[in-house]
Amino acid sequence: MPFESPARRHGTRALLLLAAAAASACIFPHFRHLEHVDDVQRVLEGQTTREEVRDRLGAPGMVDTPGLYVYDWEKAKALAGGYSYMAAMGHTGTRALFVFDDDGRVARAEIQGTGQGEKEETGGAAKALPRAATAPLPSGECGEKRTARAWFAGPEPRLVLHHADGIRVCDARGSRVVGDLQGKFYGFALSPDGRLAATYDHEKSLTLRSGSTLERLRELEPPSTVGLSLVRWGLGISFSSDGGRVAAYLTNHGITVYDTATGEAVLRLPDRWSPRLSPDGTLLVSKAKTGFFLTEVDTGRDVAVRPPPKYPYGIAQDPYLARSLSVSLGSTAFSPDGKRLAVASCAHAEVWDLGTMLSSGWKRGLQEAFLLPFSSVFGVCAAAVMFSSDGASLAIANEGSVTLYDLLKHEVRGSYAIPALTIDASFTPDLTTAAFVTRAGLLTWEVGKVSPPAPEGGPTAPPAGS
């Protein structure tokens, strides 16, 4: 092997670095001048169309959907520098959101500076946000076991607790057990009217039950050996408002929609998951590797498709990210009147007019869009999104925060830090009470109540009731 002097090695390395920098500048030329929030303000002052924003800022750093454009400074600068390693997820620095009207003009813009993540050197959104005064469940049967999932269900809110060895239904405060079902279940749901319940057990059997007694009424899908033997808890089950239809993600069939009166399957969608039925049961939102699908239940026709973000989290896709995105596209919710659809991802939320969306195939109809604070945990998008029963408010919980949005005033009512990583979240229909499944256990929250600030230089105040 010929000898190579240190000087020559350093020279070769310098040339390689210069070549990489030049290649990076050619590939990402639009990132080079994005240094400060003033760039966005200059765009707003002199460039107001979608095309001009794209020319000024380049490809979006996070997501690009019809009528919406979100840009992430930190990820853009990381790409511009040609770094090959994967930056920490969720540390957004400065972000900008643009909402465009049907003519492509800027209808609304929102800018947020540093402090959107939990990174120490950027300030930390979770530390800057008011801390939700959460509390554990009262001592008793409802709070004695470790909970895998928890959510509110039924017309008179009941707190459903999903344990390793069964389902427990409690009152909304979690102080009294009103129903108990022993067994190993992958999925459980109560219909919004409270009449029916459905379970999916470890034998891959889907069963329709009484909503009040949990007694077995009808087997919708018999036990099957087809499909994966290892599946996650909380596989999706969704009822229409009157309980007339139920959709379930089954490991052996993908998603199946049933008529609960006859027990017959009316639609099967292989390779789909996370079903959510519209209130009248005529539409179904589901996820696939290629994005969100809105499907007519009676015809099986996909009437609208929302592709996954080109740059989720602000970095270019690679095979690892593509696999992760297949299970973390975000969350969806229909408004109680069935006229709107909310979609929440890791860092922003959208509200769409369903009629316009259907007529345009998800190209028009964006009514609201706003940024969310989010943490650095990768692979967990929004844990929950929900309209209030009157349709006037929206609640979104993601990894480490919960945000409330006023749909009448078109403004964020508040964002709050949750004191532990959120695995699952749910709200009562009036959005006055929330339940969070965290690594620290099950926590409830009187929505809007905050913990007192920690003393200067002292420890953070503990959750209320702890």
Quote the Cα angle for 434-439-444, to 5°: 20
Asked whether 128 and 418 are in contact (CB, 8 A), the reply is: no
Q: What is the pLDDT of residue 23?
A: 36
Q: What is the pLDDT of residue 355?
A: 95
Local structure of 299: helix, strand or coil: coil
Q: Please indicate, yes or no, if residue 446 is contained in any of the structural domains.
A: no
Q: Please indicate, yes or no, if residue 52 is contained in any of the structural domains.
A: yes
Local structure of 40: helix, strand or coil: helix
Asked whether 341 and 334 are in contact (CB, 8 A), the reply is: yes
166 CB burial (10 A radius; 0-12, 13-18, 19+): middle
Residue with tokens 């499909």: 227
Q: What is the pLDDT of residue 337?
A: 95
Local structure of 29: helix, strand or coil: helix
Q: What is the pLDDT of residue 385?
A: 93
Q: Which long-range contacts (CB under 8 A, 24 or more apart) does 175-182 make?
A: 175/137, 175/138, 175/140, 175/142, 176/140, 176/142, 177/141, 177/142, 179/212, 179/213, 179/214, 180/214, 181/209, 181/214
Q: What is the pLDDT of residue 454?
A: 63
Q: What is the pLDDT of residue 246?
A: 97
Residue 102's closest CA among 49, 141, 62? 49
Q: Please indicate, yes or no, if residue 123 is contained in any of the structural domains.
A: yes
Q: Please indicate, yes or no, if residue 107 is contained in any of the structural domains.
A: yes
Q: What is the pLDDT of residue 146?
A: 83
Q: Please indicate, yes or no, if residue 455 is contained in any of the structural domains.
A: no
Q: What is the pLDDT of residue 326?
A: 41
Question: What is the tens place of the pLDDT at every residue in 41-93?
Answer: 776 776 678 888 877 777 666 666 778 888 776 655 555 444 333 333 344 46
Q: What is the pLDDT of residue 208?
A: 96
Local structure of 416: helix, strand or coil: strand
Q: Which residues of the chain fall below pLDDT 70?
A: 1-40, 43, 46-47, 59-64, 73-93, 113-127, 224-235, 252, 309-329, 374-382, 454-466
Q: What is the pLDDT of residue 284?
A: 97
Q: What are phi and psi of 384, to 5 degrees?
A: -165, 145
Give residue 55's domain range. 32-127
d(CA 83, CA 315): 11
Q: Please indicate, yes or no, if residue 93 is contained in any of the structural domains.
A: yes
d(CA 334, CA 339): 8
Element (H, E) at 81: none
Asked whether 170 and 180 are in contact (CB, 8 A), the reply is: no
Q: What is the pLDDT of residue 119?
A: 39
Strand locations in 82-215 (E): 95-100, 106-112, 132-136, 149-153, 158-163, 166-171, 177-182, 185-190, 196-201, 206-210
For the chain, the helix, strand and coil percentages under 3-state DSSP, each to the nearest 5:
15, 40, 45
Q: Please indicate, yes or no, if residue 83 is contained in any of the structural domains.
A: yes
Q: What is the pLDDT of residue 57?
A: 73
pTM: 0.81
What does the mean pLDDT of the chain come to? 76
Buried/exposed 396-425: b ≥16 CB within 10 Å, e otherwise: bbbbbbbbbbebeeeebebbbbbbbbbbbb
Q: Please indicate, yes or no, if residue 430 is contained in any of the structural domains.
A: no
Beta bridge pairs of residue 180? 168
Q: How many domains are contained in the chain?
A: 1
CA atoms within 13 A on the CB side of 149: 20
Q: What is the pLDDT of residue 25?
A: 32
